[in-house]
Amino acid sequence: MDVVKEVEKIAWPKPMKLFTAGPVACFPEVLEAMKIQMFSHRSKEYQEIHKDTTLRLAKFLEAEKSTVLLIPSSGTGFMEASVRNAVPPGGKVLVTVIGEFGNRYREAVERNGRKPIVLEKPLGKPVLPEELDDALKKNPDVEAVTITYNETSTGVLNPLKELAKVAKERGKMVFVDAVSAMGAADIKVDAWGIDLVFSSSQKAFGVPPGLAMAAVSEAVFERAKNIPERGLYFDLLEIKDVLVKQWSTPTTPPMPQIIGLNVVLRIIERMGGKEAWLKMYAERAEKIRRGALNLGLRLFAEPGYYSPTITVIYNPPGIKGPIIYEELRKRGFEIAKGYGKVKDETFRIGHMGYITDEDINLLFKNLEEVLKSLGVKK
Ligand SMILES: *Cc1c(COP(=O)(O)O)cnc(C)c1O
């Protein structure tokens, strides 16, 4: 085991408490379960675990009418897949942008030879239903609407249910980047009429990176049949076909991560189910926001749209760049630096994954000391 210790010394030189934007700290039970020896992903045993995980996630997402797909990729893979499978080349997509990840969707549309029509809001603000309705009225020929459910760069949660309703009323497909929302903010796939919603294992489910998951509507598969240029790796028809016939994936799945996700979905069940789990996340987020406000800090997001997974905070006057991040790191806490256009003005505290109340108390005690040492007045 000496080699393990050697590698640990490089990757994990001292224990850190993680308040990151992802990868986040994993549940100890998840890490434990992921240690098992590998076996064939074409075996009956693998099919069993893939099926069980898929059905558990479908239940969690209330996606009985959609198909839940688990694939080897990071979340962004499904961003690309949505565009390639459900929008013909040259087709228009209304991309809503409230920060860096909305911009990434715009790029995914553009770089795949489709045409983005952008509805952009000032940083810190959500997209409102009436604004989306206006944009759709002006652009009746778009094929789909993209929504960042939780914008990780600004800490804003978009009103997804209401936005999806507007898009459906105008007959548009709805694609949702829920990478930093799924598992912490409610998603009712069928009831809200969402056509494709995706996430990654390393965010609110608290599993290591490498697994992307999505719920995909029948309408998406129908569209895909008329789009031959779907590519190879993200061909949703082929991915669905292998799922239906073999409870597996066309290419090798990240088996440990799927086992890890299965464990988390069972932890959620034990806790009392989805409602209890989402409540835990809401309370944790509230505690972190209160902690910041108690230190006299200002939140970046518009009140009423606070994220359940990440709190973005203005640097106090006189502080620029990642100084608070660096100081906390020296004390064994890894938060997240400001991201994108506001990287010099803000820092971020992630709430995702394995975090205890005691960790939060310790973080704020240390943050208070850091602010004091930097000469910040309350
Ligand atoms: C982290 C994140 C992504 C990127 O996810 P990957 O798994 O790295 O592809 C995309 N969108 C949002 C909102 C995120 O927070």
| pLDDT at residue 378 is higher than 90 | no
Residue 14's pLDDT is what? Answer: 87
Binding site membership of 177 for ligand 1 (Cβ less than 6 Å): yes
Strand 173-177's sheet: what is its strand order? 67-72, 211-216, 196-200, 173-177, 144-148, 92-97, 115-120
Cis peptide bond prior to 253, omega within 30° of 0:
no
C-beta 195 within 6 A of ligand 1: no
Across the range 168-192, mean pLDDT stands at 98
For 271-323, the pLDDT digits (tens) are 999 999 999 999 999 999 999 999 999 999 999 999 999 999 999 999 999 99
Other C-beta atoms closer than 10 Å to the C-beta of 1 total 6
Q: How far is the CA of 3 from the centre of ligand 1 (A)?
A: 32
Q: Where in the chain is the domain with CATH 3.40.640.10?
A: 28-269
Helices (H), 12-96: 28-33, 44-60, 76-86
Atom of ligand 1 lying closest to residue 76 CA: 9
Q: Given ligand 1 and candidates 107, 180, 213, 312, which is best to mutate, with the most ligand atoms within 8 Å of its CB?
A: 180
Q: Is the CB of 366 under 6 A from ligand 1?
A: no
Task: Evaluate: CB of 206 within 6 angstroms of ligand 1.
Answer: no
Which atom of ligand 1 is closest in space to residue 151's alpha carbon?
13
- Per-residue pLDDT, 253: 98
Buried b (16+ CB within 10 A) or exposed e, 140-150: eebbbbbbbbb
pLDDT in tens, 147-164: 999 999 999 999 999 999
Task: Indicate if ligand 1 lies below 6 Å from the C-beta of 96.
Answer: no
Please report the pLDDT score of residue 344 as a whole number.
Answer: 96
Rounded to 5°, angle at Cα 200 from 199 and 205: 95
Residue percentage of the chain with pLDDT more than 70? 100
d(CA 156, CA 22): 16
Q: Is the CB of 22 inside a 6 Å radius of any atom of ligand 1?
A: yes
3-class DSSP state for residue 200?
Answer: strand
Please name every residue paired with 150 in a beta bridge, in sequence order, or none if there are none.
157
Q: Is 180 in the pocket of ligand 1 (CB under 6 A)?
A: yes
Ligand 1 centroid, distance to 75 Cα (angstroms): 6
- 80 pocket-lining for ligand 1 (C-beta < 6 Å): no
pLDDT band at 12, cuts 50/70/90? confident
Cβ distance 157 to 307 under 8 Å?
Answer: yes
Cα 180 to ligand 1 centroid, rounded to whole Å: 7
Fold topology of 28-269: Aspartate Aminotransferase; domain 2 (3.40.640)
Q: Is 78 in the pocket of ligand 1 (CB under 6 A)?
A: no
Q: Is the CB of 103 under 6 A from ligand 1?
A: no
The rounded percent of the chain whose pLDDT value lies above 90 is 98
- Is 76 touching ligand 1 by the criterion CB < 6 Å? yes
- CATH 3.90.1150.10 boundaries in the chain: 2-25+273-373
What burial class does residue 245 get, using C-beta atoms within 10 Å of its C-beta: 0-12 exposed, 13-18 middle, 19+ buried? Answer: exposed
User: What mean pLDDT comes out for the span 124-132?
Assistant: 98
C-beta of 102 in contact with ligand 1 (< 6 A):
no
Whether the predicted model's global pTM rises above the 0.95 cut = yes
200, 307, 339, best to mutate for ligand 1 pocket (most atoms within 8 Å of CB): 200
Average pLDDT of the chain? 97
Averaged pLDDT for residues 55-82: 98
Q: Is the CB of 100 under 6 A from ligand 1?
A: no
Q: What is the pLDDT of residue 13?
A: 82
3-state helix, strand and coil shares in percent for the chain, rounded to the nearest 5: 45, 15, 40
Confidence of residue 1 (pLDDT cuts 50, 70, 90): confident
Closest ligand 1 atom to 74 CA: 7
Mean pLDDT of 92-117: 98
Distance 151 CA to ligand 1 centre (A): 9
| Fold annotation for 2-25+273-373 | Aspartate Aminotransferase, domain 1 (3.90.1150)
Q: Whose CA is nearest to atom 10 of ligand 1?
A: 179
pLDDT higher than 90, residue 70: yes
Segment holding 292, helix H or strand E: helix 274-294
Considering only 28-32, 77-81, 373-377, which range has the smallest mean pLDDT?
373-377
Task: Return the closest-CA partner of residue 58 out of 197, 219, 181.
Answer: 197
